[in-house]
Amino acid sequence: MTLPRVATADILRTLEELYPDAICALHHRNPFELLIATILSAQCTDKRVNEITPVLFSQYSTPEQLACAEIAEVESIIMTCGLFKSKAKNIVGTSQLLVTKHHSLVPADMEQLIQLPGVGRKTANVVLSNAFIIPAIAVDTHVQRVSNRLGLAKSDDVFETEQQLMRCIPKEKWSSAHHWMIYHGRQVCVARSPKCEICALASYCRHWKMQMKNRTK
Ligand code: SF4
């Protein structure tokens, strides 16, 4: 069972106060650049992606150019970001589909986005919310962990977590809440040894309450 509405509102208000300027950390100038950067960010830090994309886009700045790129050349540019062979194939394949099926534009539509190579719901939601300002909750590793620890969601499955978060968070806050949880997951609610002692959300947190209960047993 997820949290009552009042607790959810308190958590969201606190997160908003903690991270009022939370935004997408991936540098981009248009939906195409955000789409490619997000594909590259799988199992890679945003910092590393931000080092790679200026080089990549200086050579291939449009879907047409990346669609015609030699995979080996793309691999050599992105090789520091992990899984580079499959990512090179995916970003070239995605660019080819954008050119042949979408008039070289990124579609602002979940069903069309997830047809592109290397694009799952998380990537599609990042693009929808940041490039097109369509309310969406992208469940990455931080959102999955933080939302489940807090009790906003209760599921090991990212799709189910997304559905639960969409039910308990007001739609106008979906995109912001996604950023707030990422910031909180990076700065305080880290994967190993979360900093519960200094966490402003401890009084609401299911994980922290369970920890306290176990200590008093
Ligand atoms: S109290 Fe601990 S587990 Fe709960 S949100 Fe804060 S850091 Fe994360």
Chain segment 87-118, per-residue pLDDT in tens: 999 999 999 999 999 999 999 999 999 999 99
Quote the pLDDT of residue 17.
97
Confidence class for position 152, pLDDT limits 50, 70, 90: very high
Confidence class for position 199, pLDDT limits 50, 70, 90: very high
Residue nearest to atom 4 of ligand 1 (CA): 205
In angstroms, what is the span from residue 38 Cα to ligand 1's centroid? 27
Quote the pLDDT of residue 215.
82
Quote the pLDDT of residue 214.
85
Check if 194 has its Cβ closer than 6 Å to any atom of ligand 1.
yes
Active-site residue numbers? 122, 140
Quote the pLDDT of residue 5.
73
Best residue for ligand 1 mutational test, from 10, 195, 197, 207 (most atoms within 8 Å of Cβ): 207
- Ligand 1 atom with the smallest distance to the CA of 194 is 7
Return the CATH fold of 5-22+138-216: Endonuclease Iii, domain 2 (1.10.1670)
**Nearest to residue 91, comparing CAs of 109, 110, 73?**
73
The domain spans of the chain are 5-22+138-216, 31-131
The pTM of the whole model exceeds 0.85:
yes
Taking residues 121-133, report their average pLDDT.
98
3-class DSSP state of 216 = helix
> Do 5-22+138-216 and 31-131 fold alike per CATH?
no
Return the CATH fold of 31-131: Endonuclease III; domain 1 (1.10.340)
Taking residues 151-174, report their average pLDDT.
97
Check if 134 has its Cβ closer than 6 Å to any atom of ligand 1.
no
Quote the pLDDT of residue 212.
87
Confidence class for position 131, pLDDT limits 50, 70, 90: very high
Chain mean pLDDT for the chain: 96
pLDDT in tens, 181-192: 999 999 999 999
Q: Cα–Cα distance between 69 and 91 in angstroms, integer?
A: 10
Q: Cα–Cα distance between 184 and 10 in angstroms, integer?
A: 15
CB-based contacts of 74, cutoff 8 Å, min separation 6: 56, 60, 66, 88, 91, 92
> In the predicted model, is pLDDT for residue 2 greater than 80?
no
> In the predicted model, is pLDDT for residue 1 greater than 80?
no
Check if 209 has its Cβ closer than 6 Å to any atom of ligand 1.
no
For the beta carbon of residue 8, count every other beta carbon within 10 angstroms. 20
Residue nearest to atom 2 of ligand 1 (CA): 196
In angstroms, what is the span from residue 209 Cα to ligand 1's centroid? 9
- Ligand 1 atom with the smallest distance to the CA of 195 is 7
Quote the pLDDT of residue 73.
98
- Ligand 1 atom with the smallest distance to the CA of 196 is 2
* Phi, psi for 50 (deg, rounded to 5): -65, -20
- Ligand 1 atom with the smallest distance to the CA of 149 is 3
